[in-house]
Structure 1
């Protein structure tokens, strides 16, 4: 299986306006790639695109809400026309949701599934025909450490990421023998602000939600630029499975050793991050 060379070929990246997606675009630009940047944040996309163009990269921007299937299909055609040499797709777009099952509404959980899973499926479906026409192409889906183990208090997020994992693996089997390969990347905590800027159940006191989010964010140690470099290397080397971060490797080993009882050792370090019920102490 040939390793990919980014120089002069195109990569499409979702969630490219911020965080891992933006840094993934920067890492590919340094390798000479042409870029199709996808995000719903028009202003954020424009800033990243201007930065990369100033450094000499060829960039197109494609603002879209990935929950809108018709709009995503149209964006797919737009990207294919602008980038006939499309070689890779990296799906970084996503959000988070705090709350227990008792606290969350069905609407809130469906919203996160639409963003994290169906948005990933939709853009992959839209761009797969173009990728099939490449002599060699790769799709990278960003999963999560929580696609390996499901903590309490993170039901919607873990559901979406396990589903992204399942989609990636099934698609990998579906395209086997073609010019397209598929892989998933499983990062541990990356300092993107996703947990601080994500959503929480409307029934949770905002102060309590903020405390839980801050406790989770304090456990994130990897810089987005470091995660992006690893994602790009995994993409160009066409890896099927990439664990990013010490915590991910530990959790992967733990789940293999204790597939039913892994939660016992995980619960203690996560106790503050998953506590969305204890009231704030009066001052």
Structure 2
């Protein structure tokens, strides 16, 4: 897929993987509509992308806001005139076992990680159908391949994104819209630090869990963004980001039930 002079809408671009994707696209001459809930972070990403000579608009909104999502495609069309690529990247994390996580927190995470993906995809499909070559890229996770304990809500949301993306790809066969689902491994973003913690868990336990997860986040987000955009260019239906994601993908296919006990032994070693 040739990305020069294409137009991409990306959510969650205030930092991390979203900013990495935006910069990788900007380097290829792709114009951008950037979305985030953090105004200052969004402005920083936009400034970096504009320095590369492309057209950039910023859209400050919460992806859990249904009305804002409904209005967004019209705003993007008014500013740019067309849309070729939709990248549903925005996401949040929530630690804790199923019994620790409240119903309200579980629903909060699903609204952002899954329902926002579905709603924005539905809202943007009419514009994407007008493109001669379009693609939807949805962000799942390593935890959309495996399901570790303590990640019930997060893993559920990322498996939902994976299933939605795969089925949508099959439904859109024969059209000019392709669908990619992304499974990043340990990318050095702030997601662990900003994860919401369940009630009833001590500050010490929260900090220990965050520290443990942060040690696994090693890949620079700029590198992750470049890998994702290369996968977009190659029209890959599944994009695995990092050696850890690739290894886990193989392990889960070989041992779909026993993979967690094998991973635990490896972690202890």
Q: What does 1:172-211 align with in structure 2 at a 5 Å threshold?
A: 172-211=169-208
Deviation string for 1:175-205 (max 9, x for gaps)?
1110100010111010001011111112211
Give the corresponding residue for 2:136: 139
| Alpha carbons 2:23, 2:48 under 8 Å: kept | no
Note the C-alpha offset of 1:268: 4.5
| Alpha carbons 2:138, 2:165 under 8 Å: kept | yes
Give the corresponding residue for 2:216: 219
Distance 1:248 1:22 in 2: 20
Give the corresponding residue for 2:114: 117
The runs of 4+ residues in structure 1 deviating greater than 6 Å are none
Note the C-alpha offset of 1:143: 0.7
Structure 2 residue 231 is matched with structure 1 residue 234: yes
Q: Equivalent residue of 2:193, what SS?
A: helix
Q: What does 1:45-124 align with in structure 2 at a 5 Å threshold?
A: 45-124=42-121
Aligned residues: 268
Distance 1:169 1:155 in 2: 21
| Alpha carbons 1:67, 1:115 under 8 Å: kept | yes
| Alpha carbons 1:195, 1:217 under 8 Å: kept | yes
Deviation string for 1:4-63 (max 9, x for gaps)?
211111111110111100111111111111100011112211121122223322100111
**Unaligned 5+ runs, structure 2:** none
| CA separation of 1:268 and 1:95: change in aligned 2, threshold 3 A | farther
TM-score normalised by the chain length of structure 1? 0.91
Note the C-alpha offset of 1:270: 5.9
Note the C-alpha offset of 1:269: 5.6
**Unaligned 5+ runs, structure 1:** 272-283
Give the corresponding residue for 1:29: 26
